[in-house]
Amino acid sequence: MNPAAETRTVQARRAVLQMPEYHPPLAGRDALRLDFNENTFAPSPKVMEQIAAITSEELTKYPEREPVERVVAAHFGLEPNQILLTNGVDEAIHLIAVAFLEEGDEALVWTPSFFMYDVSIALMTSGGLKKVQSDETLQFPFERFLAGINERTKLIIVASPNNPTGAVVERQKLLHIAEAAPLAVLMVDEAYYHFHGETTLMDVPQVPNLLVTRTFSKAYGLANLRVGMVAGDARLIGFLRKVSSPYNVNGVALACLPAALADEAYVQWYVEQIRIGRARMMAGLDELQVPYFPSEANFVLMRIGAKHAELVTAMRAQGVLLRDRSADPGCDGYVRITIGVEAQVTEGLRALGVSLKQIDWQPHVPAQDEAAMIAKGREYE
């Protein structure tokens, strides 16, 4: 095509041309899925009963979200106008960015964290995405984060527990941030809430600029149905409702959600499996001498070093999928493993033992010890 003709073709907004893209490696996942932090087992059997009861006629109707929002609000002790159901938390992030950000605004995020924040923020503001990076501890940089707030800050997003690290941010610190930025929306992403237990959901009625997101993709095992929620002040939720499609959550998800929420015993069982499995995984990594970041989520971030890609390939050959996080800021050499139910953790650890041997992985010797070893070596010279 000649350049003159090219200028006459339809072009997307500049922000769309410039925004980053998220392409998770979804192909070829017919293996043990320890790569995406999903529930690796199943949702409650009550959910499957709901799916079996859906009639073909029901599939012809547009879905009605409000009755289920009333059920969800009651479950969490909130008013229905304080809740919006969304097509996963991914859509919640998108709606929040669309509703609150415009050119010239800034949005503050902690990095490394979930990449969809970058995508939705960059769609709305060119150059408005401000990232505060963890130091090598990968913990939340609270003081530096607070210092990043200014009069242009309109949106702040913090995931706790965070992905990909599993690090958490104490409730008091989150409330402090909300107070420090009264003209900004603070979105606390509690996608992995169940595996930790601390929440800011009950602060919603008192904190007018707080939005809390929860997904049903993780502990509840409904990732394929695409359903999440935002809780917050009725005014803020009203703005989000205004920009969302009335049919954003499909009827199968809406039919299943009340059953999933009501079966608390099932969720408790699954969460317990993860907590026990996580402790086993961390103990197993200690035994294998693999350093890792202590996690409060349903995954553990391991520090493999230069052989990170080789490990992922070797594990795939063993039938176990991992997620290489090396491209994340400050995560070079890090690989993430999802915690599943008991037998899956056993299999993950077995495959890790075999794969580390196959790639001839050696534990990294920390710098201090390195210096001590060199000094010791000199003694024998």
Ligand X SMILES: Cc1ncc(COP(=O)(O)O)c(C=O)c1O
Q: Closest Cα to residue 166, out of 136, 196, 189?
A: 196
Q: Write the burial class of residue 152 (CB in 10 Å: 0-12 exposed, 13-18 middle, 19+ buried).
A: middle
For residue 164, the minimal CB distance to ligand X (Å) is 8
- For the CB of residue 297, give the shortest distance to ligand X in the complex, in Å: 8
Closer CB to ligand X, residue 86 or residue 273? Answer: 86
Cβ 363 to ligand X, closest distance in Å?
A: 29
- Residue 189 interacts with ligand X (CB under 6 A)? yes
Contact range with ligand X by CB under 6 A, out of 41-49, 83-91, 202-210, 286-294: 83-91
List the one residue from 43, 63, 88, 333 that touches ligand X (CB under 6 A): 88
DSSP letters spanning 131-177: EEE--TT----HHHHHHT--TTEEEEEEESS-TTT-----HHHHHHH
**Cα 339 to Cα 328: distance, rounded to the nearest angstrom:** 20
Backbone φ, ψ for residue 300 (5° rounding): -135, 135
Residues 208 to 227: which contact ligand X by CB under 6 A? 215, 217, 223
Q: Which of 72, 89, 96, 188 binds ligand X (CB under 6 A)?
A: 89
The span of 47-55, 82-90, 318-326, 369-377 binding ligand X (CB under 6 A) equals 82-90
- What is the number of residues in the chain? 381
Stretch of residues binding ligand X (CB under 6 A), selected from 84-92, 120-128, 168-176, 288-296? 84-92
Under the criterion CB under 6 A, does residue 163 sit at the interface with ligand X?
yes
Q: Residue with the closest Cβ to ligand X?
A: 88
159 in contact with ligand X (CB under 6 A) = yes
CA dist 326 and 126 (Å) reads 26
Residues 12-71 that bind ligand X (CB under 6 A): 37
Per-residue mark of binding to ligand X, 260-289 (x: CB under 6 A) = ------------------------------
CA dist., res. 311 & res. 359, Å (int): 7
Distance CA 366, CA 360 (A): 18
Identify whether the C-beta of residue 206 lies closer than 8 Å to the C-beta of residue 233: no
**At a CB cut-off of 8 Å and minimum separation 6, what does 13 contact?**
none
> Which C-beta is closer to ligand X: that of 163 or that of 273?
163
Total residues in contact with ligand X, by rule CB under 6 A:
13
In the bound complex, what is the minimum distance in angstroms from residue 189's beta carbon to ligand X? 5
DSSP assignment of 329-375 equals TT-TTEEEEE--SHHHHHHHHHHHHHHHHHTT--PPPPHHHHHHHHH
Binding site for ligand X (CB under 6 A): 37, 88-90, 114, 159, 163, 189, 191, 215, 217, 223, 228
